[in-house]
Chain A
Amino acid sequence: MSEGLKIEVERKPSEVEVVFEGQIDEDADFSSLSGLEAQVMVFNLEKVSLINSCGIREWVEFQKKLPKETKLVYRKCPQVIVEQLNIVKGFIRDNSLIESFFAPYYNEARDQEVKVLLTPSQVKEGKAPVIKDEDGSELEFDEIEMQYFSFLKNG
Chain B
Amino acid sequence: MDFSLFDQLQNPVLVLDRDLKVSYFNHICGTYFKMPPRKLKKSEKLEDLIQTKQVNLSALAKDALKQGASKVTQEIGVLAGENEREAAIILKFIPVGDQNIVVHVMDFSIEKQLHEKYKKQILELKETHEQIVRSDKLTALGELISGISHEIATPLTIVSERLGRMENALFVKDWERLSEAVPEVQKEFLRITQIISGMQSYARNQEDELQVCNLKSIVDESAHFIKELNILGKIELEIKADGDHLAMANPLKLQQVIINLIKNSVDALKEIEKEDKKITVVIEENDHEQIHTLKVADNGPGVAPELRDSVFEMFYTSKEIGEGTGLGLSISQKIIESHNGEIYLADSQSGCEFVINLPIVEVGSFTHTNRYLRGECEIEDEKVLVIGDDIPLLNKVYQKLKSKNKVCVLSSKVDNARSLADFFVIDKAIKLKNCDLSFLEVEALDLTGATEEEALKQIEKNI
Stretch from B23-31, B96-104, B210-218 that touches the partner: B23-31
**B5: Cβ under 8 A from any A Cβ:** no
Residues of B within 8 A of A22 (CB): none
* CB-based contact B114/A143 at 8 Å: no
- Name the residue of chain B whose CB is nearest to the CB of A143: B36
Instruction: Tell me the residues in window 113-158 of chain B with beta carbons closer than 8 Å to chain A beta carbons.
Output: 114, 117
Query: Closest approach, in angstroms, between the C-beta of A83 and any C-beta of chain B?
Result: 5
**A147: Cβ under 8 A from any B Cβ:** yes
Instruction: Tell me the residues in window 41-89 of chain B with beta carbons closer than 8 Å to chain A beta carbons.
Output: none
Residues of B within 8 A of A140 (CB): 38
Given A87-B10, A106-B36, A113-B36, A26:B114 Cβ within 8 A: yes
**B7: Cβ under 8 A from any A Cβ:** yes
Instruction: Tell me the residues in window 81-134 of chain A with beta carbons closer than 8 Å to chain B beta carbons.
Output: 83, 87, 104, 106, 113
Chain A interface mostly helix, strand, loop or mixed? mixed
**B379: Cβ under 8 A from any A Cβ:** no
**In the bound complex, what is the Cα–Cα distance between A54 and B7 (angstroms)?**
23
**B110: Cβ under 8 A from any A Cβ:** yes
Query: Closest approach, in angstroms, between the C-beta of A53 and any C-beta of chain B?
Result: 6
Interface centre among B7, B10, B31, B37 (most CB of A within 10 A): B31
Interface size counted on chain B using CB atoms at 8 A: 12
**In the bound complex, what is the Cα–Cα distance between A147 and B30 (angstroms)?**
11
**In the bound complex, what is the Cα–Cα distance between A120 and B110 (angstroms)?**
32
* CB-based contact B37/A87 at 8 Å: no
* CB-based contact A54/B36 at 8 Å: no
Contacting residue for A144 out of B10, B27, B110, B114, CB 8 A: B27
Residues of A within 8 A of B117 (CB): 1
Contacting residue for B36 out of A1, A26, A53, A142, CB 8 A: A142
Query: Closest approach, in angstroms, between the C-beta of B121 and any C-beta of chain A?
Result: 10
* CB-based contact B7/A147 at 8 Å: yes
**In the bound complex, what is the Cα–Cα distance between A50 and B31 (angstroms)?**
11
Residues of A within 8 A of B28 (CB): 87
Given A83-B31, A144-B27, A147-B7, A104:B36 Cβ within 8 A: yes
**CB within 8 Å of A: which residues of B?**
7, 10, 27-28, 30-31, 36-38, 110, 114, 117
10 nearest interchain CB pairs?
Answer: A142-B36, A83-B31, A147-B27, A52-B110, A144-B37, A53-B110, A87-B10, A142-B38, A104-B36, A143-B36
**CB within 8 Å of B: which residues of A?**
1, 26, 52-54, 83, 87, 104, 106, 113, 140, 142-144, 147
Other than the given A87-B28, A106-B38, A140-B38, 20 more pairs (CB < 8 A) read A1-B117, A26-B114, A52-B110, A53-B110, A54-B110, A54-B114, A83-B31, A104-B36, A106-B36, A113-B36, A142-B36, A142-B37, A143-B30, A143-B36, A143-B37, A144-B27, A144-B30, A144-B37, A147-B7, A147-B27
